[in-house]
Amino acid sequence: MKETKTASASPEARAAMHEMMAAFEAFKGANDARLDEIEKKASADALLEEKVARIDQAVAQAQARMDRALSESRRPMLGGEPPVVVAAPEAKAAWDGYMKSGASHGLELKAGLSSASNSAGYVVPPETERAIERRLMAGSPMREIATVRTVGSGVFRKPVSTAGVTAGWVAETAARPETDPATLALLEFSSADLYACPAATQSLLDDALIDLDEWLAAEVEDAFAAQETAAFVNGDGVNKPKGFLAYATATEGTQTWGQIGTVASGAAGAFASSNPSDRLIDLIYAPKAQYRPNGRFVMNRRTVSAVRKFKDADGNYIWSPATRPGETASLLGYPVTEIETMPDVAANSLSIAFGDFARGYLIVDRAGVRVLRDPYSAKPYVLFYTTKRVGGGVQNFDAIKLMKFAAS
């Protein structure tokens, strides 16, 4: 069987992991001293508080370096060894000619479908589209945890059952009364244009050692990933995906279909002053049992910094660093995904999410990426107006729960 754990063998990832674990041990010692000071004097020394904050920042930086090293190890290199020369299919050869010189013979032209748009572009070959998708998967945290579906239309419609078929018990010879049918609803996920406009020099395009597919994918990766992630979390659904924080919410147990349940943190704009980890446990057990095995926490790094200081009733830290490259840090035994567009802790903020995001959130990719070559607008550079259609939204409102930073 082919070995796929190449990321775990990365020297950079191993070094960052050891650095993070050492920093976390130092953090625990300093934080324990801070807590002892608070118990004895009702407040901690300012220098000790500063030391804890400094070490906590070092832990976060080491975690970020390890994540970056693992992400880089999954991405194909743009240069290095000369590529193996193979007989390219006609479509791929035509695409390379278009990228290098603008020759469009043999390419499929896609014009804007909107009557208000005159934009046009050429459909990239499957190799280029796969390269872009690979890089987006490595660069976008939501794509790593949600379900991603490729569709052929602008709107993906998914029927769901909001109330299942009822059943009943009867005797062997008794009449079978009719049961209530299932209640169905139709979810619609519209795709919107996501675009970027990378630039290159003609000498770069003429370089035989450059893989133009990977170059284009690398250039649009950061721009696409940043915009996507922000939309998957907070997007309003207007010309962009709808983020899971943009849906209506209600206190857990009172929500109806279409609303996401919330658990209060126990204090307005903060964690509860005593036993704050208890509310995190409440959040874990808010989803039904079938959603917990693949559950995970989602929050930004500043919220991670806050929960990193929490202990359980036995005095053990509830946050644990990754013990091997390729793994993620965990909170109360569940993995933590850091997404910077999650809101900071504030009054009534929804700063922590927990659930099975693969079952709860759906990302819709419209098949086909368009590229329009523009050698005129920024001479001597050649611009590549690249467009991809993406949508997304919650597909299962029971699978995701949120912590609301409020007293109740």
- Asked if 400 and 283 touch (Cβ cutoff 8 Å), the reply is no
pLDDT in tens, the chain (408 residues): 333 344 444 666 666 666 767 777 777 777 777 777 666 666 666 776 777 677 777 777 776 766 666 665 555 544 444 444 443 466 677 777 888 888 777 666 665 444 344 446 788 888 888 888 888 887 889 999 999 999 888 899 988 877 666 777 888 888 888 777 767 788 999 999 999 999 999 888 888 778 888 888 888 988 899 999 999 999 999 999 999 999 999 999 999 999 999 999 999 999 998 889 999 999 999 999 999 999 999 999 999 999 999 988 888 999 988 777 677 889 999 999 999 999 999 999 999 999 999 999 999 999 888 999 999 998 889 999 999 999 999 999 999 999 999 998
Grouping H, G, I as helix, E, B as strand and the rest as coil, residue 396 is coil
Nearest to 329 by CA among 339, 318, 341, 319: 319
- Asked if 400 and 355 touch (Cβ cutoff 8 Å), the reply is yes
d(CA 306, CA 46): 17
Q: Which 8-state DSSP code applies to residue 330?
A: E
Assigned token pair, 282: 């409440």
Sign of CA dihedral 259, 263, 266, 267: negative
